[in-house]
Structure 1
Amino acid sequence: MESLLKNDFTSHYNLAASTVSNICATTTTATFELNDDNVLIHTVVNAGVAKYSNPTSAEVTVLNFEAFINSLPNAFKIGKEKCDLLVYTNTDFLLNELTDTLPKYVTPYLNTKGPQQGKRQKAITQLYSSLQLIMEVSTIRVFINRRSIRRCCFFNKQAIAPAGITASVAFNKLNTIASQGLKMNNPAIADLGFELWEFSGNQVCTI
C-alpha cells in the first residue's frame, strides 16, 4: 500500500512520486493501540487513542495517511480533508480518524467563534474525503476490494455517554453496552463499499 500511494496515487493525480519515509509500522501482537505520531503502534495501555484486538495474530500494517498527504505539493494538499491512518491486513482495510476530546465537543457545540459542527461530523468528512481520494486510484481500489472487511472508523479516547443514560451511570456501562464499537448509517460511505464505525473510551476494534 505504501508503494501504491507513493507511486500510483501520485501518478493518478499528476504529482511527482513521493519520497516521504517512516510512515508505516507493522505488528502481530494480540492487543495494541494506535496514535497519529512517529511511533504509530503502541503496546502500553492507554498510550494510544485507537484500541485494537488482533486475536488471530494477523500481520497488521498501519500507515500514516495524514503524513503522506502532508508530504505532497501545496497545490494538491491545501483544502484536502484527510484522515489520520490507514490500517490493513489480508482481510481488513480500515481508515482511522483519531481524537482525544471531551464528549461535549463530539456533537455540535457553541464557542466564541459561533456554532461548531463537532468532531464526529468533522471526522466523517475527513474519512469520506480520504476514501474518495484513494478509491479513485484503480490499483488502490483493487487492493482494497480484495479485503472483505472495509470500515471507516472514528475513535475518541474519551468516553461518550450513550443516549438516554445519565452521565453518572453511563461511563460505568459504556463498555458492556457496546464494547466492540457502534456501527452507524452513512449512505455515502456505504456507496463506496465501506461501513462507518465509532469507538469511544475503551471500546475495541477487532480485526
Structure 2
Amino acid sequence: MKQLLENDFLKHYGVTSTIAIDCLSIIDVDFDLDDEGSPISLKTLGKGKASFHNDNGELEIVHYEDFINQCAKPRSFKKGRKKCDYLLYHTTTPKTVVLLEITSALGSRANLKKPITHKTTNKPLYKGGKFEKCEDQLFQSLSTLVEVPSISGKLNEYTRRICLMAYTIKPVQTWLQLILKFCRPFARYLAIEAKETPGEGASIECPRIEGLGFEYRRIEHQYVFRL
C-alpha cells in the first residue's frame, strides 16, 4: 500500500511535491495510537486515544493526515480536502484494513453531538458535531483513495474493510480523581460498545461509506478494537 501511495496516488492526482510517507511496520499484539503529528508513536495499551489488539501478523500504519498535508502542489489538490488520521492494514495476509479518525469530547458523549461552527464567521460547519465531522473525514478520505484504480483494487482484497471513529470522553475531574485514575490499571479487554459485535465496536449505518465497500464503526477508547 505504501508503494501505491508513493507512486500511483501521486501520479493519479498530479501531485508534484516531494513526499516522505510516515509508515510504521509492527508486530505488536496490543498497542494504542494517539492523534499526534508525525512521526507515528505507539503507546502502551490504554495510554493513548485508540486501543487495538492484533494477532493476525504484521501490520503497517500510515500517517494519512501527514501524507495528505505534504501533498501541497498543486494547491488545488490539498485545498479543502478532508483527511482522517491513520490508515492501518495487514501485510502478511489481506485480513483487515482500517481508516481511523480519532477524536474526543469533555464530560459526555452528548458533547460529541454539539454543532461545530466556523471560528470567525460562526457559520455552521457540522450540525451533527464531531460525530458528523468524523464520518465526513472518513468518507472523504476513502473517496480520495478509491479514486485511484490500483488502490481501490488493493483495498478490495481485504476481508474486513472498516472506517473507524475512535473517541475518548474526557471526564471533568478533581485532582483526587486524577490521582486515583492513574493508580488504577487499564482493563486489558473490556466489553465493546456494541455487545453484538465483540471487539469491533458499534456498527453504524452509513450508506455513502457502505456504497464504497466499507463498514462504518465507532468505538470508545476504554474498549479494545480487534484487528
Q: TM-score band, normalised by the shorter chain?
A: 0.7 to 0.9
Deviation at 1:76, TM superposition (A): 1.1
Q: How many residues are treated as equivalent by the alignment?
A: 192
Aligned partners of 2:209, 2:193: CA distance in 1, in Å? 25
Aligned partners of 2:169, 2:21: CA distance in 1, in Å? 28
Q: How does 1:70-85 map to 2 (within 5 A)?
A: 70-73=69-72, 74-85=75-86
Deviation at 1:176, TM superposition (A): 5.9
Question: Are 1:184 and 2:184 matched, yes or no?
Answer: no
Q: Which structure 2 residue ranges, 5 or more long, are not aligned? A: 172-189
Match of 1:153, SS state, is: strand
Match of 1:99 among 80, 97, 103: 103
Residues 107 and 29 from structure 1, CA distance in 2 versus in 1: closer, same or farther, beyond 3 angstroms?
A: same
- Aligned amino acid, residue 196 of structure 1: Y
Deviation at 1:44, TM superposition (A): 1.6
Would you identify which runs of 4 or more consecutive aligned residues in structure 1 move more than 6 Å? none
TM-score, structure 1 normalization: 0.83
Deviation at 1:175, TM superposition (A): 3.8
Deviation track 1:57-113 (CA, whole Å, cap 9, x = no partner) reads x11111011101100123211101111110001311110001122233311348894
Q: Which structure 1 residue ranges, 5 or more long, are not aligned? A: 161-173
* Structure 2 partner of 1:153: 164
* Structure 1 partner of 2:177: none
Q: Bigger shift: 103-112 or 39-48? A: 103-112
Aligned partners of 1:110, 1:189: CA distance in 2, in Å? 22
Match of 1:130, SS state, is: helix
- Aligned amino acid, residue 95 of structure 1: L
Question: Are 1:13 and 2:13 matched, yes or no?
Answer: yes
Contact 1:31 1:43 in 2 (8 A): no
Deviation at 1:7, TM superposition (A): 1.5
Deviation track 1:21-42 (CA, whole Å, cap 9, x = no partner) reads 2511121111111123334342
* Structure 2 partner of 1:200: 220
Give the % identical residues.
30
Match of 1:100, SS state, is: strand
* Structure 2 partner of 1:48: 48
Aligned partners of 1:159, 1:36: CA distance in 2, in Å? 15
Aligned partners of 2:192, 2:149: CA distance in 1, in Å? 41
